[in-house]
Homo-oligomer: A and B are copies of this chain.
Amino acid sequence: MKEQGNLFYAQSGGVTPVINATAAGVIDKAAENKAAIPKVFMGHNGILGLIHENLINGFSLTSSQRKQLLQSPGGAFGSCRFKLPDDIKHPIYKRCIEVFKAHNIRYFLYNGGGDSQQTSLKIAQASQYYDHPTHCIGLPKTIDNDLPVTDTCPGFGSTAKYIAVSTQEIALDVVSMHQTSTKVFIFEVMGRHAGWLAAASALGKKNKQDAPHLILFPERTFKSEDFLHQTASTVRRYGYCIIVTSEGIRDAQGNFISDANQTDAFGHTQLGGVAAYLSNLVVSELKLKTHFAIADYLQRSARHIASKVDLDQAYAVGAKGVELALNRQSGVMVTIKRLSNANYRWTLTQTPLSRVAAKERKLPSKFISANGYGITNSARTYLHPLIQGEAYPQYRHGLPQYLAFQPEFVPKKLPDWNDPDV
């Protein structure tokens, strides 16, 4: 017989176009198991919701709100960037367990990237330490696709699709104007340490002359001279050059280019990110007209162009987490396992949290082309299935009907938590 207890779920770290689909998967699956899980608590602002006992009644969402969750970007219950202390004896862990006890929480599902899986691991350890057995399950999420073990991370496929489509669209703009206008276009995408998103920009590239012509990966050292040489020769060959850069490229000394307060030809110091830096470099050294776009949060909230595969996986991962918890698993993260590339068949399984917590998966060398500025066929084979299918939100009067709801908070049972650090 399944153990009875309530479930806590929360969203952590940078949000994605589909993290709410995972929340919907959790609520729906829990609702199918109300005998075992009488209540579902959604933490407000991630782990902070647990610490401050700010719990939203997950079963209070109407079925239409649950459907809207599936089509709304952002983190509907609030997310956070918050690192728990290393020491398991820190009072904050005792507090977490007190909240578990006060609300009879026996299932803890935490939805995030590598750092957030570290949080799941810590909570699992704390629940053992304080002898309040809790089934702690990590749910993967990150647009950066940098969690190890899992085939991909929900959120990545949709952001990758946004970037692949946007790169093609920008290229069609630039090619039509290049004779008398912009010759070099720079598109800055996320990826502080791993180039998965930048790699996805090439998914629409069929021939050598197609965009993007140069991709700058964090996995490769940025060398100004070679970059300028490649840019100039691309412009000579095709008349224009489309460049996609990861925000996290670094120079030979390991310094982020985005942090470079370099002066340009006019003695001006430059701030404003990698794209502005590269643009100024091309203008001053090659005397070519440039433009640049910085996608920033646009890319990780672009639910309007989500990948159907990604959305399906995000939902399935949430439901699977509840299943694993009910089956008395703990200390594991749900992972996606690829069964075949053709028609992309996949299934869900799990891995110990210790294998993913605070870990980072970079783009493997076999995915980066020999010159360092493009992707290989292996990369395409891996990436292409993840952007398949369109999953448009419903529109009303020309705009997507994204979820806007007043959360129903659960009455508090404990005194306020007054640690000044939290």
A interface residues, Cβ below 8 angstroms from B: 11, 14-15, 17, 45, 48, 72-82, 161, 164-166, 168-177, 179-182, 185, 187, 203-204, 206, 261, 263-264, 267-273, 275-276, 279-280, 291-298, 300-305, 307, 384, 387-390, 392, 395, 397-400, 402, 404
Q: 10 more A-B contacts (CB under 8 A) besides A271-B276, A273-B276, A275-B294?
A: A161-B398, A203-B398, A204-B399, A268-B269, A270-B272, A272-B273, A276-B276, A291-B296, A293-B296, A295-B298
The residue on B at minimum CB distance from A172 is: B74
Determine if A164 and B399 form an interchain contact, defined as CB atoms under 8 angstroms apart: yes
A169–B399 CB distance below 8 A: no
Determine whether the beta carbon of A176 is less than 8 Å from that of B82.
no
Q: Choose one: B272, B297, B397; the contact of A271 (CB below 8 Å).
A: B272
**A392 contact set on B, CB distance < 8 A:** 390, 392
Also in contact, A45 and B180, with CB within 8 A (given A72-B172, A172-B74, A301-B173) = yes
Does the CB pair A168–B395 fall under 8 Å?
A: no
Bound form: Cα–Cα A392–B395 in Å:
12
Query: Do the beta carbons of A177 and B75 come within 8 Å of each other?
Result: yes
The CA of A169 and the CA of B401, in the complex, are separated in Å by 11
Q: State the Cβ distance, A306 to closest chain B Cβ, in Å.
A: 11
**Residue in B166, B176, B270 whose beta carbon sits within 8 Å of that of A298 in the complex:** B166
Q: How many copies of the chain does the oligomer comprise?
A: 2
Q: Which residues of B contact A166 (CB under 8 A)?
A: 298, 301-302
Chain B contacts for A14, CB-based, 8 A: 177
Distance of A103 from chain B, by nearest CB (Å): 21
10 A-B pairs within 8 Å (CB atoms) are namely: A74-B171, A74-B176, A78-B177, A78-B179, A164-B398, A165-B304, A170-B297, A268-B271, A272-B273, A291-B297
Partner pick for A301 among B170, B275, B302, B303, CB 8 A cutoff: B170
Q: Which residues of B lie under 8 Å from residue A45 when comparing CB positions?
A: 179-180
Q: Which B residues are CB-close (under 8 A) to A276?
A: 271-273, 276
Chain B residues within an 8 Å CB radius of A273: 272, 276
- Bound Cα distance from A396 to B14, whole angstroms: 30
CB-defined contacts of A15 to chain B, threshold 8 Å: 172-173, 176-177
Q: Which of A74, A173, A279, A303 has the most CB of B within 10 A?
A: A173
Question: Would you give the shortest CB distance from A157 to chain B, in whole angstroms?
Answer: 9
Contacts of A275 in B (CB 8 A): 272, 294
Residues of B close to A203: CB separation below 8 A: 398-399
A176 contact from B76, B164, B173, B384, Cβ within 8 A: B76
**Chain B residue with Cβ nearest A280:** B271
- B387 in contact with A74 (CB, 8 Å): no
Q: Is the CB of A398 within 8 A of B73?
A: no
